[in-house]
Amino acid sequence: MTTPTPQPSPVAVAAVIPAKDEAERIAATIAAVRAIPGVDLVVVVDDGSADATADIAREAGAAVERHPRNRGKAAAMTTGAARVAREDSGAARPLLFVDADLEASAANLGVLVSPVAGGEVDMTIAILPPQKQAGGGRGFVVRLARKGIHGLTGWQATQPLSGMRCLSRTAFDAATPLARGWGVEVGLTVDVLARGLRVREVPCELHHRVSGRDWRGQLHRARQYRDVWLALAARRLRRARP
């Protein structure tokens, strides 16, 4: 996989990192994100963590928002985007969404920023390389997401569930309210494309945890499947309305 060379960002960019129980990894991820050219604000949304995620994130230089209980990824993204909007004093910053467990590899996300900051596209999506540890899934959720996105928009996604994305504020607003839970990425893609906005997938050298084959991993994938199915069903229903 050939990763493009990141270009300096012509505008300020805000990174939003949803996090739950990521005390071991969050500081390294924040440090890597802060090194990305153009990123001048990092917001960590602690989504009901039982550990010291929020305190460590604050010590690492991030602005922190906290949910007293776990509300899910979509809610964390919405909270983070709202914090960025409050911090914006001029033009709305593009939003770079980052998984909390990327650690040092998050520094490679700069390739997502420059096409959006430069006005070439409205949303970029990271294509990840094969991970060091193989996941425990059989691809059911990916196939559901890929087929659903294509059926609704005609666009063929390589990695439809990739959570690492950079969006203009226009693109983010086009997709709000966000699809619930783990359907958020599919909902973002469908909604942004449905508004006639431009989307580009970009190879990006990123490494994070993958879910295993134990019961926790199976439960996670079942929830993913449910949320993706619901996101697609809601958008099919919306399109069918006169």
Task: Give per-residue pLDDT as tens, 37-73.
Answer: 999 999 999 999 999 999 999 999 999 999 999 999 9
Residue 112 within any structural domain of the chain: yes
| DSSP for 94-111, written as a single string | PEEE--TT-GGGGGGGHH
SS3 190: helix
Q: Which two tokens stand for residue 198?
A: 């431009």
Q: Over pLDDT 70: what percentage of the chain?
A: 89
Residue 88 within any structural domain of the chain: yes
CATH number at residue 205: 3.90.550.10
Q: Which residue has the higher pLDDT, 18 or 131?
A: 18
Does residue 1 surpass a pLDDT of 70? Answer: no
Residue 96 within any structural domain of the chain: yes
Task: Give per-residue pLDDT as tens, 70-95.
Answer: 999 999 999 999 999 999 988 899 99
Does residue 194 surpass a pLDDT of 90? Answer: yes
Q: CA 100 to CA 208: how far, in whole Å?
A: 9
**Mean pLDDT value of segment 131-146:** 75
Determine the structural domain holding residue 35 and report its residue range: 13-133+159-210
Residue 8 within any structural domain of the chain: no
- Strands 39-47 and 13-19 turn out to be parallel
Does residue 164 surpass a pLDDT of 80? Answer: yes
Task: Give per-residue pLDDT as tens, 94-123.
Answer: 999 999 999 999 999 999 999 999 999 999
Residue 122 within any structural domain of the chain: yes
State how many domains the chain has.
1
Strand runs labelled E in the chain: 13-19, 39-47, 63-67, 95-97, 123-127, 165-167, 199-203
Residue 218 within any structural domain of the chain: no
Residue 79 within any structural domain of the chain: yes
What is the pLDDT at residue 215? Answer: 62
Does residue 197 surpass a pLDDT of 60? Answer: yes
Name the pLDDT band for 211 (thresholds 50, 70, 90): low
Residue 230 within any structural domain of the chain: no
